[in-house]
Amino acid sequence: MNIDVRNLTQKLFLFLRVRSPIGALELADVALRFSYFDGKLWQLKSVRLPPGTIEGGKIKNRGQLLEALKTLRKQIPDPIPKRGRAGVILVASSLNLYSQVFSLPFIEGEGFDKAVELNMQMVSPIEVGRAYSGWQVVGEEDEGLRIQVLGAFVESAAIDEVNKALFEAGFLGIVAEPRALALARLLREAALGFDSKRPALLLHLDSSGLTFLIVRGGQLYFEYSNLWRDVADEKQQITFPVFEAAITRSLHQVTTFYSQHWQDQLEEIFLSANNLIPQITKIINENFPLKVKEIKLGSSQAITPEWFVAVGAGLRGLKPRWEDKEISLLGLSAEEEFQNEQLAHFLRFWRVAVPSVLALFLAVFFGADLVLTKAQEDLEAKLLLQKGGSEMEVIGAFETQAKEFNRSVALIRSAESSIKHKTPLLEVLTGLVAENGVLLRRISFDDINNQMVLLGVAGSEDNIKAFKKALETNAMFQGIDLPFTEIKKEGGGFSFSVSFGVTL
């Protein structure tokens, strides 16, 4: 019997509120699409956008977008809670996102991160102060002497506007990623017949146009798009000869780019297109020496190509946050908001669960004591009668047992009154974290010595100092120990460690 340990672990974490369920939300020109895997099937929900809501990569009618998001939020099924905000991996397909792969020599330590950041600034198509960017390592070359890095960029104002609308509608953006990254993940993790050891092309056709991807080692290396508005005639129509020419011309450009950059042979192309698979296959077979494969997912559930982006992003939502090292195009404030929302969700559950569980245990212990005491009384009474003891001896035995029973009840009530709930401590700590711009990574608590150790990250050293001062001025915390030598530069902020005593 095969047991899916990972699936069971995820269900346990969801039940205990250790991690919140995370779905995916694709923001396309014509529709919003939400996906979430419940352990058996993909839950897929969509809402069409009125024409003119999003045009040319910009939100034209914020009111219509917000109304559509609210409608979608009402459709989302359990276990994503109706209260609070639903965490999502955002794929802003309708916005202008840019990606590029560059190569760097291998450097140990922090020097590599600094070299990446410098190159990101050099290749960014958007002014650094107006952009959100992210990067991830996608491969190696020259036997590990050079590292290949994928960088992505988007205008910060555009993402902030979308993220604000999500928040108002009851969603919480956790990360934002390019559509191409979601499609490459779908191909790598869910497509039948795909071998990550061989390079491949992916052609995705949707309402916006044609998108070509180069995938090597299962990772995205290059993206090229040809939009319908650039192909259509003055009447916004596309004839089949024009369609055929667009595919042929675009695919020729992509294959030429590949041959100029890599040596290994390109042999296959995967297609994602609803009703045009036969026509596109015929065009490619007549013009290119590539084996054409339609993308089919290894699932009993029928999922059509318009859902491939949302499902590809949904696969990312299944990973624990601490394992996710892929690109994110949201600012630090969005990450902090998600961590605070997750902590609040955890506390809401356990504030009710802890007293309830303790009360249940006390009831069980009390009931067991009653049953065992009654059984003991019956046995001892029978023994006394069998030995010919007098009626007074039996009564005396019952009186002694009654005193022991009353003493047990008193002990149980004393134990119940001595329980100390730690919820107020967590609520105070959560408030201090939120007020001082600190993001919690790990908390450990020593019940015996009432000592707590906290690992966190903040946007600046001033935030860390303000957090330490807040701890020192609160009567619940003593002996604050925050070595400034432990404050380290990390990405866009500073990590630190602090320990202190707690008064419960």
Q: Which amino acid is at 78?
A: D
What pLDDT does 120 receive? Answer: 94
276 and 401 housed in the same domain: no
269 and 173 housed in the same domain: no
What pLDDT does 412 receive? Answer: 47
Q: What is the pLDDT of residues 270-327, one digit of tens each?
A: 999 988 999 999 999 999 999 999 999 988 899 999 999 999 999 999 988 888 889 9
Q: What is the pLDDT of residues 62-111, one digit of tens each?
A: 999 999 999 999 999 877 777 778 999 999 888 888 999 999 998 887 88
What pLDDT does 310 receive? Answer: 97
Measured distance CA(350)–CA(423) in Å, rounded: 8
Domain that holds residue 120: 20-192+297-330
48 and 136 housed in the same domain: yes
Q: What is the pLDDT of residues 373-390, one digit of tens each?
A: 877 777 766 665 555 555
Q: What is the pLDDT of residues 431-478, one digit of tens each?
A: 888 888 888 878 887 877 888 888 888 888 888 888 889 989 988 888
Please answer whether residues 41 and 105 qualify as being in contact, where contact means their C-beta atoms are separated by less than 8 angstroms. no
What pLDDT does 75 receive? Answer: 92
* Residue 245: Cβ within 10 Å count: 13
The torsion angle over the Cα atoms of residues 494, 495, 501 and 502, rounded to 10 degrees, is 80
Angle, helix 156-168 to helix 62-75, in steps of 10 degrees: 50
User: How far out from the chain centre does Cα 18 lie?
Assistant: 13
Which tokens sit at 145?
A: 């002497």
Position 394 pLDDT exceeds 50: no
Q: Where is average pLDDT lowest: 9-13, 95-99, 130-134, 146-150?
A: 9-13
Position 489 pLDDT exceeds 70: yes
128 and 213 housed in the same domain: no
Q: Which amino acid is at 74?
A: K
321 and 452 housed in the same domain: no
371 and 436 housed in the same domain: no
Position 415 pLDDT exceeds 90: no
Q: What is the mean pLDDT of residues 357-365?
A: 73
User: How far out from the chain centre does Cα 73 lie?
Assistant: 17
151 vs 364, more confident: 151
CATH of the domain at 249: 3.30.420.40
126 and 271 housed in the same domain: no
Beta bridge partners of 497: 455
What pLDDT does 399 receive? Answer: 63
Block residue for tokens 């050891």: 197
What pLDDT does 370 receive? Answer: 79
Position 6 pLDDT exceeds 60: no
pTM: 0.66
Summary count for the chain: helices (H), strands (E): 13, 20
100 and 216 housed in the same domain: no
Q: How much is the mean pLDDT over the chain?
A: 83
Strand ranges for 284-437 from DSSP E = 291-294
Please answer whether residues 238 and 226 qualify as being in contact, where contact means their C-beta atoms are separated by less than 8 angstroms. no
Total domains in the fold of the chain? 4
Report the half-sphere exposure of 23 (CA within 13 A, side-chain side).
Answer: 29
